Amino acid sequence: MSSRPFIIGFPAMPLEGLASGIGVYIARLVQQLSRTPDLQFVVFGFEKERGLLDLGPSAQFVPVEPRWHGAMANIAWHTGPLPLWAARRRCDVLFLPAGNRRMTVATPRGVPLAATVHDLAQFHLPEKYDRWRTAYVTHALPLAWRRARLLFAPSQATADDLVRFAGVDRSRVKVVYNGVDHAAFRPMTREAARAALQSMAALPERYILYVARIEHPGKNHIGLLDGYARLRARRPDLAARLVFVGPDWSGAEAVRKRVDVLQLGEYVQFAGVAPQTALPYYYGGADLFAFPSRFEGFGIPAIEAMAAGVPVVAANRASLPEVVGEAGALFDPDDPEAIADALERGLFDETFRAKAREAGPERAARFSWTKTAEETLQSLKRMAER
């Protein structure tokens, strides 16, 4: 007679078309955990987004009504119906994979709550949100975090923020790093990447890549533009263009306006959202990956770029030094001259480039979605036993 499987309730939202780090994290956990033996993985999700999920044999997909899809409605669903749904399905734990966006304050007795808090940007970039969302993310969410039995953080920097800003007991915070799909993101020649991209996207012959939603001020595209403009002034014959990959977000108009003010229109390409199947080739065709973000809870694109063997220059803030380590170069994201120096080094210092191409994949090898899922599941089981 087989024992009862361990049952996890898991709301697969917000997926955001897999165009954000949180969406990728959710999709990869679903892919990994739904193939785990002796586990029943109850995935709550929207039918229209089901195709974004690679559901394995351990998954039980529970459709959520479309009326709960909007941001405010989805917050209400997490607070009200979700805990009851988890209890009715006899879940051993309720695991919220986007606890910095969606939380519940209480669960029925016997259903312990865990969540992943990807970042606490609201305490570092107070200008990022409007008044109402600021109140939600700075007051309501920390209250819910303090009531959760276990919180996952994708970096030590985020774990420290949970203790410092939210007053969470450090003993209830577990650092589990995000991963990277090594089968997709791997070193390749620029020629191979460009050959694959011919039918997918029209990109410049030489380019500096930045993968992030087009957002101001957090993602700091404007800082990168200012640094790039200074580099062009130093090197008027600079061949490498800037390619921004990601959807328009809050503040995108300010970024586009800065391109016009700096008269960089012919040197900057907004490439939109790249399909997940095409993204490895965007990296593979790049001369350099620049990550000027003023705040990251982890920084999945940095790992993807390093896994692809692309030299990386990144901001020296929050989690990025922890993630990039010595495999790339770091700079002050608020100093355009420092950004220009980093771009120049990343493009023209052949000693640095050779070292980065070798060290990047070695560094990225420490991170995998299999490891992320295994460590997450082990912690959830230990939590349920307490």
Residue type, 132: W
Q: Would you say residue 184 lies in a domain?
A: no
Predicted TM-score of the model (pTM) = 0.94
| Tens-digit pLDDT profile for residues 34-89 | 999 999 999 999 999 999 999 999 999 999 999 999 988 999 999 889 999 999 99
Q: Is 1 inside a domain boundary? A: no
Sheet bearing 268-272, strands edge to edge: 268-272, 241-245, 207-211, 288-291, 312-315, 329-331
Residue 49 and residue 101 share a domain: yes
Indicate whether 135 and 196 sit together in one domain: no
Shared domain for 12 and 145, answered yes or no, is yes
How far is CA 179 from its chain centroid? 10
pLDDT of residue 76: 92
DSSP SS3 for 15: coil
Tens digits of per-residue pLDDT, 172-216? 999 999 999 999 999 999 999 999 998 888 899 999 999 999 999
Collapsing DSSP to helix, strand or coil, 73 comes out as helix
In single-letter form, the type of residue at position 143 comes to L
**Same domain flag for 358 and 235:** yes
Are residues 237 and 98 part of one domain? no
For 75, 116, 152, 319, the CA distances from 372, given in Å and listed in that order, are 26, 12, 11, 17
Nearest one of 207, 198, 233 to 311, comparing CA atoms: 207
52: in domain = yes
- Same domain flag for 172 and 202: no
Q: What is the pLDDT of residue 49?
A: 96
Kindly state whether residues 139 and 171 are assigned to the same domain: yes
Find out whether 85 and 7 touch, Cβ atoms under 8 Å: no
In terms of DSSP bridges, do strands 207-211 and 268-272 run parallel, antiparallel, or are they unpaired?
unpaired
Cβ atoms < 10 Å from Cβ of 167? 11
Q: Is residue 185 part of a domain?
A: no
Q: Yes or no: say if 4 and 23 are a contact pair by the CB < 8 Å rule.
A: no
Domain assignment present for 44:
yes
The answer to whether residues 213 and 161 belong to one domain is no
pLDDT for residue 2 is more than 60: no
Number of folded domains in the chain? 2
Question: Is the pLDDT assigned to residue 97 strictly greater than 70?
Answer: yes
Domain that holds residue 132: 6-179+368-385
Q: What is the pLDDT of residues 258-297, one digit of tens each?
A: 999 999 999 999 999 999 899 999 999 999 999 999 999 9
- Residue 56 resides in a domain: yes
Query: What pLDDT was estimated at residue 386?
Result: 76
User: Are 125 and 208 members of one domain?
Assistant: no
CA dist., res. 375 & res. 365, Å (int): 16
The band of 1, judged by pLDDT with boundaries at 50, 70 and 90, is very low
- How confident is the prediction for the chain on average, in pLDDT? 95
For the stretch 122-148, what's the b/e string if a residue is b when 16 or more beta carbons lie within 10 angstroms of its beta carbon? Answer: beeeeebbeeeeeebbbeebbebbeeb
Where residue 75 sits, what CATH number does that domain have? 3.40.50.2000
Q: How confident is the model at residue 133 (pLDDT cuts 50, 70, 90)?
A: confident
